[in-house]
Structure 1
Amino acid sequence: MHKVIALEDALKIDKPLFIDMRSPGEYEQGHIPGAINIPLFNDHERAEVGTIYKQVGVIEAKQRGLAIVSSKLPELVSQIRSFYQTGYSIIIYCWRGGMRSKSVVTVLDLMGITAYQLIGGYKAYRRFVLDSLRTFELRPEIIVICGSTGVGKTALLGKLAKKQIPVIDLESLANHRGSVFGQVGLGKPQTAQNFDALLLQELQRLNEKRYVVVECESKRIGNVYLPDVLYQAMRRGKKILVQADLETRVSRLIDEYVDVYRNNTEALLASLKALAKRLGTRKVMALSDKLLSGEVRDVVRILLTDYYDPLYGYETANLDYFDLVVNANNLDKAACQIVEYLEQRR
């Protein structure tokens, strides 16, 4: 009799290893954090079996699936055995806790490997994440770092983290820089499923802290959305305004995007084109010409003064709105000043 386990119990197991038996495409769309993908079917094979199931019949689909999987079983068992022998508790899942995970757990049992089938599969985990975020009781005060584009907010988060300050880098979790050029050069954006799961882990990890520092964001970051519990806490939280000189900001953005400028010209031009409604077609064409001729510093400076600064308004904001104002021309000094402020809140 193969063993099954509920998600609530699986998450409490010491040294668990979740193994996702779904196709690579399904895994990429959303998986349990830390899970490894050992697919029974590749994307093409899954589509083939699915088509047979719909157009021919269940028995024929099972026969085709068995033919595909049978040659893969020895290597699959070998891979899982190697993890099992290092002391992991093996938890197998598929989409709904159905045939794929059940068949693998049965084979593993026959081969002397103890493994559990996750009841409800990934679908149960996704429901757990959404329910947890919806009902999450956020305890720490949220400290929000605000400031114009290029002042170094993300770099400051990194420096604060190195000083053992609890931070959540939302843009890193979303794999997006939070701007019109935010996805250029970063590869695929994070899916909502994976972002939600990673964010939940961070919130759970830091929920006993006195405060957590984040960068100011809108509710949407690229293709993902912040849960209400965090977004509303950010709106209520203390605000730190980070400032830097224009030329310092230009230099930082060039340093941050140096590889992007070199290797993603077409994507950058497309992003510029998307600004035509706000900047006007003539200015966008002029910026595109400057980008193609290598006048990157001029392009960045104009985008800051004509697009980003008016959009976010920090350069003309009333300083009384903020709980702390920090000059970040020197990021190390700025980080120390923020730490001093935070220490006073303990």
Structure 2
Amino acid sequence: MIRTLADIDVAALAAFDAIIDVRSPGEFAEDHLPGAINLPVLDDAERAEVGTEYVQGSKFRARRNGAALVARNIARHLEGALADAPAGLKPLVYCWRGGQRSHAMVTIMDQVGWPVTVLDGGYQTWRRGVVRRLYDEPLDHRFVLIDGPTGVGKTEMLGRLAEAGEQVLDLEALANHRGSLFGAMPGGQPSQKLFDSRLIAALAALDPARPVAVEAESSRVGTVTLPKQIWAVMQAAPVVELTAPMEDRISRILQDYDGFSRNSDLVAEVLARLPRHISKSQRADWLEMVRQGQTAAFVQSLIEAHYDPAYGRQGRRPIAHLPSYAVDALKQILQSA
């Protein structure tokens, strides 16, 4: 018997052995339920082909050709990704809005004998829940912001706190971006929708009764924007500022951005995006430093002329100033927050 689920959240996903997204790979890449696997019943080209025929040609031919493609693709999944799935597998299946694609898959899976569930309303049901949680309803979580000028080791501190058993929310990891001018990371950033889904999954793993350490960010991390309710909690959160000597900051930046700082073409591309108050001659001097291998001098000059003045304009008022190695002191602040 095919079961139907009218709503879904991260906790409810644990009841299923597999979350199966039958949308096209392009739809899946834009966003999907946490932990989902992509077993498309139509790939991107097939979906476009069937849709074009339906709109511009014959609706009957579109349905017939689509049915043939769907049948072949489902057979391929049964013989491939699902070939070793046990008889007791409990899958949740969804498509875009709980229509023909998911029902084609669950009909066959039900005939096989798997106790399959289809998400009513499909991915859109999930997305509505994400939007409600991140943009409409106040969050239950309490944050403590870890702040400090560029290079003091804020992300490093989050990792140490996590190792020590404290709760952390690493926004830069979820956004796949270091949150700075040179912050691009391999693989590129997720879409805004996928970033939101990652946030929901990360928040679900945190206990609202305990404070959460979060690196202080602007309202954007690279190309993604912090959702309204996340930003509201961050704006109201107490701030702890980390400090470190200039030489330590330079060393850490050179280590974290090693490949980037030695690529003059990439440096030139990023420097072109600096605010207008940074003169062309200053940018040219920085680029020449990189080309001459004077990366430490380049980083120090960039810190002094751009990063530190920008940090000073943020106007946050820390409740404490700690050296970047003071994990135990920061733990005490978190535990008393």
TM-score w.r.t. the length of structure 2 is 0.91
C-alpha separation in 1, matches of 2:199 and 2:292: 41
Structure 1 residue 301 corresponds to structure 2 residue 300: yes
Structure 1 residue 141 corresponds to structure 2 residue 142: yes
Task: Tell me the alpha carbon deviations over residues 285-326 of structure 1, each in whole angstroms, 9 at most, x when there is no partner.
Answer: 222222233222222111111111111118x979xx321111
Shift of 1:256: 0.7
Match of 2:329 among 314, 334, 337: 337
Counterpart amino acid of 1:42? Answer: D
C-alpha separation in 1, matches of 2:62 and 2:265: 44
Partner of 2:3: 3
Task: Tell me the alpha carbon deviations over residues 107-132 of structure 1, each in whole angstroms, 9 at most, x when there is no partner.
Answer: 11222223122110101110111012
Shift of 1:265: 4.8
Shift of 1:154: 0.4
Partner of 1:62: 63
- Cα distance change, pair 259–112 in 1 and its aligned pair in 2 (3 A): same
C-alpha separation in 2, matches of 1:206 and 1:144: 16
C-alpha separation in 2, matches of 1:215 and 1:266: 30
Aligned sequence identity (%): 35
Task: Tell me the alpha carbon deviations over residues 29-77 of structure 1, each in whole angstroms, 9 at most, x when there is no partner.
Answer: 0100110111122222222222222211322222222333333333312
Structure 1 residue 323 corresponds to structure 2 residue 319: yes
Secondary structure at the aligned position of 2:271 is classed as helix
Matches within 5 A, 1:234-273: 234-261=234-261, 265-273=264-272
Secondary structure at the aligned position of 1:278 is classed as coil
Give the conservation status (yes or no) of the 8 Å contact 2:238–2:318: yes
Shift of 1:152: 0.3
C-alpha separation in 1, matches of 2:154 and 2:236: 19
Structure 1 residue 191 corresponds to structure 2 residue 186: no
Task: Tell me the alpha carbon deviations over residues 121-149 of structure 1, each in whole angstroms, 9 at most, x when there is no partner.
Answer: 10111011101223444334311111001
Shift of 1:10: 9.1
C-alpha separation in 2, matches of 1:335 and 1:83: 47
Bigger mean CA deviation after superposition, 84-93 or 215-224: 84-93
Task: Tell me the alpha carbon deviations over residues 59-98 of structure 1, each in whole angstroms, 9 at most, x when there is no partner.
Answer: 2222222333333333312346457418542011111111
Secondary structure at the aligned position of 1:283 is classed as helix
Higher helix share goes to which structure? 1
Secondary structure at the aligned position of 2:190 is classed as coil
C-alpha separation in 2, matches of 1:269 and 1:59: 55
Bigger mean CA deviation after superposition, 29-38 or 9-18: 9-18
Counterpart amino acid of 2:157? Answer: L
Give the conservation status (yes or no) of the 8 Å contact 1:84–1:113: no
Structure 1 residue 288 corresponds to structure 2 residue 287: yes
Matches within 5 A, 1:148-167: 148-167=149-168
Shift of 1:226: 1.8
Secondary structure at the aligned position of 1:167 is classed as strand
Q: Which runs of 4+ in 1 moved over 4 A?
A: none
- Cα distance change, pair 88–221 in 1 and its aligned pair in 2 (3 A): farther
Counterpart amino acid of 2:249? Answer: R
Shift of 1:231: 1.6
Give the conservation status (yes or no) of the 8 Å contact 2:41–2:70: yes
Counterpart amino acid of 2:332? Answer: E
C-alpha separation in 2, matches of 1:327 and 1:122: 45
TM-score w.r.t. the length of structure 1 is 0.89
Partner of 2:181: 180
C-alpha separation in 2, matches of 1:295 and 1:87: 62
Secondary structure at the aligned position of 1:77 is classed as helix
- Cα distance change, pair 341–290 in 1 and its aligned pair in 2 (3 A): same
C-alpha separation in 1, matches of 2:173 and 2:293: 28
Shift of 1:106: 0.9
- Cα distance change, pair 121–134 in 1 and its aligned pair in 2 (3 A): same
Gapped regions of structure 1 (runs ≥ 5): none
C-alpha separation in 2, matches of 1:207 and 1:268: 41
Shift of 1:236: 1.8
Task: Tell me the alpha carbon deviations over residues 146-165 of structure 1, each in whole angstroms, 9 at most, x when there is no partner.
Answer: 10011000000000000001
Gapped regions of structure 2 (runs ≥ 5): none
Partner of 2:170: 169
